[in-house]
A and B are shown apart, each in its own frame.
Chain A
Amino acid sequence: MTIDPIRLALPSKGHLYDGIVEILKTAGYKVRRASDRQYEAVISGHPRFHVVFMRPTDIVAQVNEGRCHLGVTGYDVFAERAAEADQARVVTQDLGYGGCRLVVAVPESWIDVTHAMDLVDLAAEFKDAGKTFRVSTKYPHLTQDFFLRRGIHHYQVIDSDGALELHPSLGIADVIVDLTSSGTTLKDNRLREIEGGTVLESASCLIGHAPALRAMVDEGEAGPLALLLDAMDGVRASEGWLHLEVVGSPAEPAPRTAEAVATYLTEQGAQHVARGQVWDAEGGDAWRVTALVLAKRLTACQRTLFRLGARRVVGLPTRFVFDRDGESTFDRIGREVV
Chain B
Amino acid sequence: MSRETLRAIQCPACGAGLDVLGGGRVAVMVCPYCTTELDAVQNFAALRKFDGLTRPNTPFRLGMEGEIAGIRHQIIGILGQVERWKGREWHWAEHLLYSETHGYSWLSLEDGHCLWSRRIRWSLPEQLFRPSYVNQQEHRPHFRAEGRTWHYLESTSQTADYVEGSFTWVPKLGDLTTSLSYLADGEILTVEAGASETEQTLTRWLPRAEVAKTFGIAESDLPRPQGRHPAEPLPQGDDRFALTTAGSCAAALLLLIGGLNAQTHVLLPRQPFPLSTLPRTIDLPVTQANRLMGIHLDSNVENGWHGFDLELEDPEGNLVFEREAGTSYYHGREDGEYWTEGDRSAHVTLRPAQTGTYRLTVANGGSEMEPGEAGQPATEVTLRVVEGEYSLSWILLGLVGLLGLGAAGPLRRWIARKTRLRHGDWDEE
A and B: partners? no
- Chain B: residues with CB nearer than 8 A to chain A? none
- Chain A: residues with CB nearer than 8 A to chain B? none
